[in-house]
Amino acid sequence: MSKKVLIGTKKPFAPEARDATLSLLKEAGYEALLLEGYEDPAELLAAVKEVNALIVRSDKITDEVMAAAPELKIVVRAGAGFDNVDCEAATNRGIVVMNTPGQNSNAVAELAIGMMIMAARGKYDGKSGTELRGKTLGLQAFGNVARRVAEIAINGFNMKVIAYDPFIPEEKIREAGVTPVRTLEELYQESDYLSLHIPATEETKGSVDYDLMSLMKKNAVLINTARAEVIDEDGLVKIYEEHPHFKYVSDVAPLNKDVLVVCDGDRCFFTPKKMGAQTAEANLNAGVAAARQIIGFFEDGDRKYQVN
């Protein structure tokens, strides 16, 4: 009997990406199932019952979901961050978890740059704004998205780019035309624009706190296309109130909706939905990569992108 693969995405892929992913699986002899745009997590629980593999986005894959899927062998997060998947529970159940690194990074990078321009131009309200050229952009972490942001900022805007990433050798950062800095404090002090590219982990949650943000320059802009969890939201509100020029632009809604009450002026912007990776190209890249990884796993035991 052919293996069943479910694309279970609350936030749907672009239709062409979804269809290409389904076709690839079918052509490889798999039964390809689809549950998209679901509202109630119970729908996902019902849909995973007989599946052997699951392709998801930011969908919460809890132990409960995995328990409802006794035949499940692999979950592929079509994207980079896999904080939505309970990896420990997956390991305990012998389920492989993978992500598709790099497949949606250009889309997120372009949005980060777009939001920087919007912040620089004061949301197009008629007042004089500023330009990106010649400004210093700080990147917190230097993974796939940050690399692409750096490339666009250097080649397109002649920005000076600095980065802090203790997990990447300094020479690798330099090779990209970016200046590594040794401390987070330095990164926050030096940046006119500071773009976050850290994952949400136990170590990073709430780590962008009041003390760090208060080191930022008077007119600095903080850009968050990473995760809401990394921000200390009480600290954010305090900085926003204390520093009349500080700007925050984010592709992720705050966890505490009260933040929106304070941060509602022209110095703050939240995309209404998480839009960084929401392009046809990124959906296609990530969906097709996820399907290929599932096929590779079942056919050849390929575990290259396993994260648990």
Question: x/- contact string, 81-110, with ligand 3PG (CB under 6 A)?
Answer: x----------------------x------
Tokens of 91: 């390991």
Report 163-192 residues binding ligand 3PG (CB under 6 A).
none
* Residue 274 CB, nearest approach to ligand 3PG (Å): 5
Residue 287 interacting with ligand 3PG (CB under 6 A): no
Sole binder of ligand 3PG in the list 3, 4, 18, 57 (CB under 6 A): 57
Sole binder of ligand 3PG in the list 17, 274, 284, 290 (CB under 6 A): 274
Rounded Cα–Cα distance for residues 264 and 216 (Å): 20
When the beta carbons of 8 and 79 are compared against ligand 3PG, the nearer one is 79
When the beta carbons of 11 and 205 are compared against ligand 3PG, the nearer one is 11
Q: 262, 239 in Cβ contact below 8 A?
A: no
* Residue 11 CB, nearest approach to ligand 3PG (Å): 6
Stretch that binds ligand 3PG, among 35-43, 133-141, 209-217, 274-282 (CB under 6 A): 274-282
Q: What is the DSSP letter of 12?
A: P
Q: What is the DSSP letter of 170?
A: H
Q: Which long-range contacts (CB under 8 A, 24 or more apart) does 65-70 make?
A: 65/41, 66/90, 66/93, 66/95, 67/93
* Rg of the chain (C-alpha set): 20
Report 8-27 residues binding ligand 3PG (CB under 6 A).
11
When the beta carbons of 14 and 262 are compared against ligand 3PG, the nearer one is 14
Question: Where do the H-state alpha helices sit in the chain?
Answer: 15-27, 41-47, 63-67, 87-92, 105-120, 144-157, 170-175, 184-190, 210-213, 233-242, 259-262, 280-300
Report the candidate in 37, 74, 88 with the shortest Cα–Cα distance to residue 59: 37
What is the rounded (10 degree) CA torsion for 153, 286, 57, 16? 110
Residue 277 interacting with ligand 3PG (CB under 6 A): yes
When the beta carbons of 75 and 277 are compared against ligand 3PG, the nearer one is 277
Residue 60 interacting with ligand 3PG (CB under 6 A): no
Question: Where do the H-state alpha helices sit in 12-82?
Answer: 15-27, 41-47, 63-67
Report the candidate in 108, 69, 90 with the shortest Cα–Cα distance to residue 306: 90
What sign has the CA pseudo-torsion 93, 95, 96, 99?
Answer: negative
* Residue 137 CB, nearest approach to ligand 3PG (Å): 20
Residue 79 interacting with ligand 3PG (CB under 6 A): yes
* Residue 135 CB, nearest approach to ligand 3PG (Å): 25
Residue 296 interacting with ligand 3PG (CB under 6 A): no
Interface contacts to ligand 3PG, rule CB under 6 A: 11, 57-58, 79-81, 104, 274, 276-278
